[in-house]
Amino acid sequence: MCAQIAACPACSVAPSAEELAKMNEVVEARIMLSLPTVHCAACITAVERELERAAGVHSARVNLTLKRVSIEADPEVTADDMISLLEGIGYEAHELDAGTLRATETDKRGRELLMRLAVSGFAMMNVMLLSISVWAGAEAATRDLFHWISAIIALPAIAFSAQPFFRSAWSVLKVRRLNMDVPISLAILLACALSLYEVTQSGKHAYFDAALSLTFFLLAGRYLDHRTRAIARSAAEELAALEVPRAERFEGDELVTVPIAELAVGDLVRVKPGGRMPVDGVVTDGQSELDRSLLTGETVPVYAGPDSVVSAGEVNLTGPLTVRVTAAGEDTSLHRMADLVAMAESSKNRYTSLADKAAGIYAPGVHLLSFFAFVGWMVISGGDVRLSLNIAVAVLIITCPCALGLAVPAVTTAASGRLFRRGMLIKDATALERLAEVDTVVFDKTGTLTEGAPELTNLEDFKSRDLQVALALAQASSHPLAVSLAAAVSGAGVEPAELNDLHEVPGYGVEGTWNGETVRLGRAAWVGAKAGAQTATYLQIGTADPLEFTFADHLREGADKAVAALKEQGMKLLLISGDAPVAVETLAKRLGFDEWVAEALPEDKAKRINALSENGARVLMVGDGLNDTAALAAAHVSISPASALDAARVASDIVLLGSDMSPLAEATVIARKATRRIKENFAIAAGYNAIAVPIALFGFATPLMAALAMSASSITVSLNALRLR
Amino acid sequence: MGIILYLIPISLFLGGLGLLAFFWTLKSKQYDDPDGDAHRILSDEWDDKPRP
């Protein structure tokens, strides 16, 4: 059997889970990618065909519901290859961590809930049919027979289906507290016990149908809730780590790759161009430039040579560097940033969700009401336990939070489904409610409003001869300014000039000879120019005056729309960035911000947000960098783009899946609508109770009335929630 | 009224069949990707060997 699978994996049409696992262990690596932009049948075929054409890929399967693709491939196929393949045909892709995904993929809990839902639904329908004939006036022996059949169906069904409620109620009762599940469990159990007793006494009323429909509707709410969370969790929290936790260490003259945890202070490590600094340290050898944008928000790379201090997380751009470790592991600045986040989160006042608030009033209320009904009727009837218990159970069933159990999950499912289609993932259950309260929006600049990639601004100012030389020089470097310059110039239809002796001078720029003259493209000081306020690179031909190429950061798609729409909604807008004042001011004016703060340290951002909160503002923080994480955690609610660093994504409540920012404004509108619907739902549920509870209290309630009140309120609440879609 | 002695077991049996069919769909992972399945049927690619 095993050999057969290995010989032809595609032949086994439906391999069992065990076989799949075995196949994974032996030959195949499984890669999971998140695909925020797939939406149609053509997308599925295009993605699958493109991936399966690649060498080493055995099969690819798109899951449109979760917007991801799972790839079975040889171990040497990497996720990065697959991502660039997909980008080639126009699909954005992000890697997901397959190890943690496996748990959600089998999704045992969801399937278990669905199974219980099906059983209770089946039992409810059958018992309802029997009950209708009882309500229609079945008498004596027929009624008893029908009640007995109902009991035989209902009791096992409830014993199986209502287990989640019993378990949850038991776990809170053990610590002497109350939650929504306590009145639910009590109502179900009491209703069953009393009905069984009534049936043995050939009594008139049995509440089996009510107990079952209660279980069914509440399970439906539970399942919706679970599904919403499962989708959000799988995609947002499990995006794989960007940082590779390894470093190249010098051992004698040899370079050995070791895990970061093994590095000690004083070790020498080598950081290749394009690599991320694994540790804090001091440069001992080599010259290069460092991209600090993720750490500080600065867009312009800084020079690094011997004795420069570097910190973990910075990206080395042009030349190889040898770094002496001054702090590794938990002492690095990266780690200190994480501590800052932990602090901000612990000080974040715990938000009580609407559902919890409702449960806080409801759970004790229900118990007290039915207890008083019992005591009251004991007094009135002069000690008739059977009558009093019947009335108490009727009160308990009617007040039981059937519609309340659906009120929140139905709305959040509808709202997060709508947001998911617009490319946003809700990670936290209460994020929608908190988003609805927002009145101030704080933006980060680099990587959030802008793409963190520079764009040439003064292409028209140069002669084609200069452009040809600049292009030839720029193509020789992987520096972000050079790459952007090359793209812009060749995009204008310019051919590169022919240069000799072309080489990169790490930390300074690119040099070559053209028609016997030395030509240079690089830093201001290196070519003898005076650095201006703007981001720029300089071209010098021979001994002529250097020419300045200026750059501006490329605006993220939809950023202007999002900002304008938020402003129109009457939000107070604030731009806080770690970048230089000129760059921040230019962008703030371009987008219409009233207030901006430049050169802000990570601590400053968090402090600023805390100050705003103390003045009563509800702050929405939008950011992506490590320098934003503390601020993201400190804000009332936070959003980060999928391109953000791990730490930022973990700290934020909502993740933007696409690169487009424009859904941001819509999100606040949807959130406000959703909160309004939740409140409406509570009002509807309370309204039904206001009518039904007095009837039950006075002893006029029948099982028919309980069934009607329960079904009608649940359906009204679900329909109201669906208006959001 | 004697007829209900037959009809009730029959209806319960038929309902039970439906329940079992639902369990089968659950076990064979037919709810993992409802959107995808709805769209796949529109794909005009010819495949004589449908994928799992």
Burial class of A241 by CB neighbour count within 10 A (0 to 12, 13 to 18, 19+): exposed
Give the dihedral sign, CA A407/A409/A412/A418.
Answer: negative
Chain B within 8 Å of A119 (Cβ-Cβ)? Answer: yes
From A444, A466, A624, A660, active-site residue: A444
- Res B43 pLDDT > 60: yes
Closest CA to A179 of A399, A361, A370, A349: A361
E-state strands within A516-636 = 517-522, 535-541, 547-555, 572-576, 595-597, 619-622
CA distance A64 to chain B (A): 5
The Cα–Cα gap between A510 and A469 comes to: 11
The full 3-state SS of A438-466, as one line of letters, equals CCEEEECHHHHHEEEEEEECCHHHCCHHH
**Prediction pTM value:** 0.70
- Of A8, A12, A51, A114, which to mutate for an interface test with B (greatest number of B Cβ within 10 Å)? A114
User: Is B15's CB within 8 Å of A126's CB?
Assistant: yes
Across the A:B interface, residue pairs with CB atoms under 8 Å apart total: 59
**Edge-to-edge strands of the sheet including A288-291?**
A302-304, A288-291, A315-316
Residue of A5, A49, A51, A115 to mutate, testing the B interface (most B Cβ within 10 Å of its Cβ): A115
Domain ranges of chain B: 1-42
ipTM of the complex, rounded to two decimals: 0.81
A560 is catalytic: no
Q: Which of the 8 DSSP states describes residue A545?
A: P
> What does the pLDDT read at residue A17?
42
Distance, in Å, from the CA atom of A593 to the CA atom of A587, rounded to the nearest integer, reads 8
pLDDT for residue B35 = 81
Higher pLDDT, B31 or A144: A144
Contact check, Cβ <8 Å, A40/B1:
no
**Beta-carbon separation of B33 and A66 below 8 A:** yes
Nearest-angstrom CA–CA distance, A280 and A272: 15
Q: Which residues of A touch B33 (CB under 8 A)?
A: 63-66
Distance from the B15 Cα atom to the nearest Cα atom in chain A, whole angstroms: 7
Question: If 0-12 CB within 10 Å is exposed, 13-18 middle and 19+ buried, where does residue A10 land?
Answer: exposed
Across the 725 residues of chain A, what is the mean pLDDT of every consecutive 10-residue run?
A: 36 40 49 80 85 85 81 81 85 68 59 90 90 82 87 92 90 81 85 89 83 88 78 49 62 76 82 78 85 70 82 79 80 65 54 73 80 89 83 81 76 83 77 87 84 78 83 80 83 81 80 85 80 77 82 81 88 84 83 84 82 87 79 84 70 78 86 89 85 83 78 85 80
- Parallel, antiparallel, or unpaired for β A440-443 and A572-576? parallel
Q: CB of A106 within 8 Å of any CB in chain B?
A: no
Selecting from A41, A44, A142 the residue whose C-beta is nearest the C-beta of B1 gives A142
* CA torsion, ordered A297, A298, A303, A309, to nearest 10 deg: -40
Whether A109 contacts chain B with CB within 8 A: no
Distance CA A607, CA A586 (A): 24
Under an 8 Å CB criterion, which residues of B touch A? 1, 8, 11-12, 15-16, 18-19, 22-23, 26, 28, 31-36, 39-40, 42-43, 45, 49-52
Question: Residue B8: which of A45, A66, A149 has the nearest Cβ?
Answer: A149
Partner-chain residue, chosen from B15, B35, B52, that has the shortest CB–CB distance to A64: B35
- Mean pLDDT over each residue of chain B, to the nearest integer: 81
Contacts of B40 in chain A (CB under 8 A): 41, 44
Amino acid at B31: Y
CA atoms within 13 A on the CB side of A61: 14
